[in-house]
Structure 1
Amino acid sequence: MSETNLAHANLEFQQQVAASSQPAEEQRRSPEAQAEVERIGEANTYLLLDRDTKLFDWLDDQRDAKLCGYITSATGSGLLKSCQLYRTQYVKRRGTLLEIPATVIYAEIDQHGGPTDLYCSIMEEIGHPLAHVGTLRDLRARAWGTLKGYGVKILIIGNADYLTLEAFNELIDVFIKMRIPVILVGTYYLGDNILERKSHPYVRVHDSFLESYEFPNLTKKEIIEVVDDWEEKFLLENRRLNLTQIDSAISYLEDKSKGLIEPLYDLLRKIAILKIDESNFKLNQHDLIQRFGRRKEPRVKFDRKG
């Protein structure tokens, strides 16, 4: 190979390397399209529906009657977000701190939710500077004092499936000694398995949480409301999908999400990005199945069985 040809070959190879070093998205899309895709990918919302209002009414009743209980739903139902919205109706934040009074406290538990994890989560939600300082005895005393000082009237615990027996007993003591009703929030496994355990140590837990509420999945009418709301919030007017005007598309979304709002939002993001990349893609049931047929459906019934 001549020196001239070798130089051309080296230049071509360097250009290929430079192109391959660019992010794959930049090679696939224009900067404007990529910016739109990233914005849609970060879309995070929740639409308040009648099912949420009914849940809030039940929570109000539990608070007023000072009754403990538990709420269950399928994974991805939006129940945790609904409980967060309930808290915001009664409590305001000033920076990282809750304003006094804070009549509703909602705290989510991480895995291995023992007593220490429980109290740390509660104190983090309140914004206490010593949320992770001290022994269990210190955390308990601090948390109880803070709950009293903030005038808490109901304590809601998300991801209650993660709680250990010792943490359940801590919550029961909060109710017995402070008269603050505790509401456990989790999947169907919480109600069908954990709270129904026959072993002697769980009798106290079972008998302390006798009131229950099942948070329902979305109806077809609610799916239409959610889709319209999502498109209005996150899609530019000239990029609206108008999915609610396509019966077969709504049927597909209903079937593929099984009425769960989080999988529904996942599908909406994916479809919207697909339309950016392939503007001629047809939004009908047949083509959606062809494109997303490998996507699994939520195991709602599996949740129910545990």
Structure 2
Amino acid sequence: MSEINLANANLEFQNSYDASLQSAEELRRSPEAQAEVERIGKANTYLPLDRDTELFDWLDDQRDAKLCGYVTSATGSGLLKACQLYRTQYVKRRGTLLEIPATVLYAEIEQHGGPTDLYCSILEEIGHPLAHVGTLRDLRSRAWGTIKGYGVKILIIGNADYLTLEAFNELIDVFTKMRIPVILVGTYYLGDNILERKSLPYVRVHDSFLESYEFPNLNEEEVIEVVNDWEEKFLPEKHRLNLTQMESVVSYLRLKSGGLIEPLYDLLRKIAILKIDEPHFELNQYNLTKRFGRRKEPKVKFKRKS
């Protein structure tokens, strides 16, 4: 078969497949219901709480005292979104560029977080046009010069679990040579394992990040705040779930989400879609447990009392 015929055959198959999917969706839901399901599926938000204010106060103290440190939490706690929110309180963005001065610089690391990845992430966050061009020496010089030029007073690194030893040492140099405090942000693995490694090369890393902060999970009152906020933002008033009016359901949501805001949002989307598909489904702890019983609970640490 020629390349043209093969391409045409693939296109016909794809069109047929898409049509079958559309037909299946139409059989399952009306177009209006499907549109509502897709809207809810894309629902994305974050509600700042007292825990965020407490974190911001700690970050302010670290910035003023020029002290490095690290913040840890369970996966899905919303910590990375909280750090992004902290940055927006101090820095404005014009298009893809940060406005000067950029007091707070927040960059997230992707996997294989070596020195090159670190500096590319920093330059990309700033909006530098040469964020991925040049050798490590070029990127380092460019990043340091840009950090100084933008008046950065604190550098926050998200997903710090991904950093290599070499990247940690680059950050230590940023602090020791530029006197800009560095805050590492990651999961409990960052604080309990990476920064506690006994091997000699990690002693310098351990001793450079002695200040720590644990971003807490949601207590029951905060779960209620988050659920009410989500329903108000994404559900029409006549279709509100009113989940917080059912005490047993609130306790169930906290248990099933582990007190983590992202798994809680996941559950809210799923329950809202369930009510679209089954309008007469009665929302109570028994029915939700029966329907979502196979969903695992996150592995988290609880240190706050409700």
TM-score computed with the length of structure 2 as normaliser? 0.92
Q: Which amino acid aligns with 1:166?
A: E
Q: Which amino acid aligns with 1:206?
A: H
Equivalent residue number for residue 198 of structure 1: 198
Where does the alignment leave 5 or more consecutive residues of structure 1 unmatched?
Answer: 1-16
Equivalent residue number for residue 236 of structure 1: 236
Instruction: Please identify the structure whose Cα radius of gyration is greater.
Output: 1
Provide the rounded CA distance (Å) in 2 between the counterparts of 1:22 and 1:254.
Answer: 36
Provide the rounded CA distance (Å) in 2 between the counterparts of 1:243 and 1:259.
Answer: 16
Is 1:264 the equivalent of 2:242? no
Equivalent residue number for residue 131 of structure 2: 131
Equivalent residue number for residue 216 of structure 1: 216
Cα offset for 1:238? 1.1
Cα offset for 1:23? 4.2
Provide the rounded CA distance (Å) in 2 between the counterparts of 1:150 and 1:234.
Answer: 38
Equivalent residue number for residue 38 of structure 2: 38
Deviations 1:145-167, CA, capped at 9 Å, x for gaps: 00000000000000000000000
Cα offset for 1:24? 2.4
Query: What is the aligned length?
Result: 286
Deviations 1:60-99, CA, capped at 9 Å, x for gaps: 0000000000000011100000000000000000000000
Cα offset for 1:237? 1.0
Deviations 1:32-74, CA, capped at 9 Å, x for gaps: 1111100000000000000000000000000000000000001
SS in 2 for 1:300: coil
Q: 1:240 to 1:21 in 2, by over 3 A?
A: closer
Equivalent residue number for residue 14 of structure 1: none
Cα offset for 1:111? 0.4
CA RMSD of aligned residues (A): 1.5
Provide the rounded CA distance (Å) in 2 between the counterparts of 1:55 and 1:101.
Answer: 22
Is 1:164 the equivalent of 2:164? yes
Equivalent residue number for residue 280 of structure 1: 280
Cα offset for 1:299? 1.2
The runs of 4+ residues in structure 1 deviating greater than 4 Å are: 17-21
Structure 2 counterparts to residues 40-59 of structure 1, below 5 A: 40-59=40-59
Is 1:77 the equivalent of 2:80? no
Q: Which amino acid aligns with 2:96?
A: T
Deviations 1:190-237, CA, capped at 9 Å, x for gaps: 000000000000000000000000000000000000000000000011
Deviations 1:74-133, CA, capped at 9 Å, x for gaps: 111000000000000000000000000001000000001000000000000000000000
Where does the alignment leave 5 or more consecutive residues of structure 2 unmatched?
Answer: 1-16
Equivalent residue number for residue 96 of structure 2: 96
Provide the rounded CA distance (Å) in 2 between the counterparts of 1:19 and 1:198.
Answer: 58
TM-score computed with the length of structure 1 as normaliser? 0.92
SS in 1 for 2:184: strand
Q: 1:21 to 1:115 in 2, by over 3 A?
A: closer
Provide the rounded CA distance (Å) in 1 between the counterparts of 2:190 and 2:257.
Answer: 22
Provide the rounded CA distance (Å) in 1 between the counterparts of 2:21 and 2:144.
Answer: 56
Equivalent residue number for residue 6 of structure 2: none
Provide the rounded CA distance (Å) in 2 between the counterparts of 1:61 and 1:18.
Answer: 55
Q: 1:205 to 1:28 in 2, by over 3 A?
A: same
Provide the rounded CA distance (Å) in 2 between the counterparts of 1:228 and 1:99.
Answer: 35
Identity of aligned residues (%): 86
